[in-house]
Amino acid sequence: MKIVNKIADVRLEVGNAKKAGKLVGFVPTMGFLHPGHISLVKIAGENSEFVVMSIFVNKLQFNDLNDFNGYPKDLERDIAIAENGGVDLLFLPDDKEMYRSNLTTVDVDLITENLCGAHRPGHFKGVFTVVSKLFNIVQPDIAVFGQKDIQQAVSIEKMVYDLNFPVKIIVAPTVRESDGLAMSSRNKHLSEKQRKEALSLSRSFAACEKLIDSGERDAEKISESIRAVILEGSPDSIDYISIVKYEDLSYAEKIDGKTVVAVAAFWGTTRLIDNMIIDKKDDGYICIY
């Protein structure tokens, strides 16, 4: 694995890979790597021959400075995990390398209005701007994003479509701990008690799946049952429990076609998000979480 800090070096290495006829896969991250990130690398490797990962904690996408300052970091560990995980080129830019005048931004309307978009002002603009920059720097053929951040993944699919980026987006399944907690760099901030309580998020999806299997389609009833299960885990607050259509993330009144159930809640100052996709299968629905 090669490690580079400069944009010019990324271009050189990716240029060489492309000259050798290789397809380039890309996994952007903010580091503090866990098996969820590495699952994306694996999928990138199955769909390309040269895998680039970036680690950059993008200040532009943090609407809370404390959250930015407290974001977990362990670069040495990340380098070892990336290398073992099959990354070919690791891009570690600093702020000076990434930020220029910051006068140009990229945003995606409508589908960023609900869910996290409603609770983290400016967050997605920061994400789309940095992802656009990274796409222009790396020029990948494919890029992999996690279902874990479903609003990000769906909006980036839209951004790539609207702005004609020549990159194929793959959305990868959420990787969970054995007890069901979705892996996240932020889990590190949870106390043991909070971590146990936060299992109510994935438990709420199991309850939701049962309801769907029993034929319930009403979004409000499903939301209520999810809320009841999440409250069993005594979160400090619930940001949202939303049932939205997959294609544009607009609110759904009932399950009718591909749908997303997305939740966000705080334990202490740690904000956790999780989601489940409900998709049509045969005569009924399948729940993916």
The minimum distance between CB 215 and ligand AMP, in angstroms, equals 30
CB contact at 8 A, 61 and 127: yes
The minimum distance between CB 183 and ligand AMP, in angstroms, equals 4
- Give the x-and-dash track for 11-30 against ligand AMP (CB under 6 A): ------------------xx
Among 15-23, 93-101, 106-114, 183-191, which window interacts with ligand AMP (CB under 6 A)? 183-191
- Give the x-and-dash track for 139-178 against ligand AMP (CB under 6 A): ------xx-xx----------------------x-xx---
Of residues 29 and 270, the one with the C-beta less far from ligand AMP: 29
* Contact between 184 and ligand AMP per CB under 6 A: yes
Site for ligand AMP in 30-49 (CB under 6 A): 30, 36-37, 39-40
Of residues 147 and 259, the one with the C-beta less far from ligand AMP: 147
The runs of H, that is alpha helices, within 86-214 are 95-98, 115-119, 123-138, 150-162, 192-197, 199-213
Of residues 106 and 225, the one with the C-beta less far from ligand AMP: 106
CB contact at 8 A, 6 and 97: yes
CB contact at 8 A, 108 and 158: yes
Q: Which residue numbers are catalytic?
A: 37
The minimum distance between CB 13 and ligand AMP, in angstroms, equals 21
Contact pick of 81, 167, 182, 277 for ligand AMP (by CB under 6 A): 182
| E strand or H helix at 224 | helix 219-232
Q: Are strands 270-281 and 259-267 parallel, antiparallel or unpaired?
A: antiparallel
Q: Closest Cα to residue 171, out of 153, 197, 191?
A: 153
* Contact between 200 and ligand AMP per CB under 6 A: no
* Backbone CA torsion sign across 57, 60, 63, 64: positive
The minimum distance between CB 236 and ligand AMP, in angstroms, equals 21
CB contact at 8 A, 108 and 128: yes
The minimum distance between CB 174 and ligand AMP, in angstroms, equals 4
Q: Closest Cα to residue 27, out of 46, 11, 6, 5?
A: 46
What span, in angstroms and rounded, lies between the C-alpha atoms of 241 and 231? 12
* Contact between 204 and ligand AMP per CB under 6 A: no
Helix (H, G, I), strand (E, B) or coil at 95: helix
Strand-pairing partners, residue 275, are 262
Which residues form the interface with ligand AMP (CB under 6 A)?
Answer: 29-30, 36-37, 39-40, 145-146, 148-149, 172, 174-175, 182-185
